[in-house]
Amino acid sequence: MSAFGDTKAITPPDIRSRKGGTPLVCLTAYTTPVARLVDPHCDVVLVGDSVGMVLHGLPSTLGVTLEMMITHGQAVRRGIKQALMVVDLPFGSYEESPEQAFRNAARVMSETGCTAVKLEGGETMAETIGFLAARGVPVMAHVGLTPQAINTIGGYRVQGRGGDAERIRRDAIAVSEAGAFAVVLEKVPEALARRITGEVAAPTIGIGASAACDGQILVVDDMLGLFGDFRPKFVKRYAELGEAAAAAIASYAHEVKERQFPAAEHVFADAPKHAGTQATKSGEAA
């Protein structure tokens, strides 16, 4: 149930109980129309801080603010009927202390109506995850490649290929034991994802982490071909909407210049003499 009290919505315990079952379907959304499209097909809709790069043109997620997450969270909430809605806590809004995390998570939940929050980090965030979970804030954890730590990691490389595999494994175990209801595993090798998925109680949700995970998540603009700044290997494009949109805009520009648009069917005629203005069914003057 969300802060809006819709009783049929998928809950964090529902997600946790799906461990080892039919894979969980998860996508991001940042706007009401896209939330309406993804909601019927998804178990989880994430208002990811990827919104900063995808919709606001930022170079990383580091510049995303709590206010941005709340604005997009409110928009997405209006488009969700059944999926579990999760909102990312942005960089700087939770790392300082469990109390800071609770204050900002509670604000995000009450102002957007989301059911849960996501935060990045493993062993170092376990205490915070336990603190939040014990106070009514369901937490989705995020380990492996954690984009908010891009400056300390040094790039968007695959994580856990060498000596850091054991650290990522410990991170996943720590956040699951702390009470996270699900763990996002980003950009780790298949063998590590399989091992972690077999070891942790919470379902793992992979992004660039193979089908061994308990579910998958993608950035919706990536899989629709709307975000072209870069194309990670783990993204499958299910549509090329960016190309379709560019072609449509070029056609419009051509037709405007050639006076082909607007055509007769888009133009309003004068009112018939003596008849007054008649309203059509659509409410437009004919």
Q: Least Å distance between CB 193 and ligand KIV?
A: 14
Position 207 contacts ligand KIV (CB under 6 A): yes
The two three-digit tokens of residue 276, written as one number: 């007054």
Report helix, strand or coil for 69.
Answer: helix
DSSP assignment of 88-132 equals EPPTTSSSS-HHHHHHHHHHHHHHH--SEEEEE-SGGGHHHHHHH
Position 49 contacts ligand KIV (CB under 6 A): yes
- Cα→Cα distances 236→55, 185, 210, 218, Å: 20, 17, 12, 9
Query: Among all residues, which ones are annotated catalytic?
Result: 186
Nearer Cβ to ligand KIV, position 48 or 189? 48
Position 76 contacts ligand KIV (CB under 6 A): no
Residue with tokens 């996002």: 184
Using CB under 6 A as the binding rule, the residues of this chain from 104 to 133 that contact ligand KIV are none
Stretch that binds ligand KIV, among 30-38, 45-53, 131-139, 258-266 (CB under 6 A): 45-53
In contact, 86 and 116? CB cutoff 8 Å: yes
Nearer Cβ to ligand KIV, position 29 or 132? 29
The site that binds ligand KIV (CB under 6 A) totals a number of residues, namely 11
Question: Using the rule CB under 6 A, which residue among 39, 43, 88, 171 binds ligand KIV?
Answer: 88
Tell me how far apart the alpha carbons of residues 230 and 223 are, in angstroms, rounded to a whole number.
12
Q: Which residues bind ligand KIV (CB under 6 A)?
A: 28, 46, 48-50, 88, 142, 184, 207, 217, 219
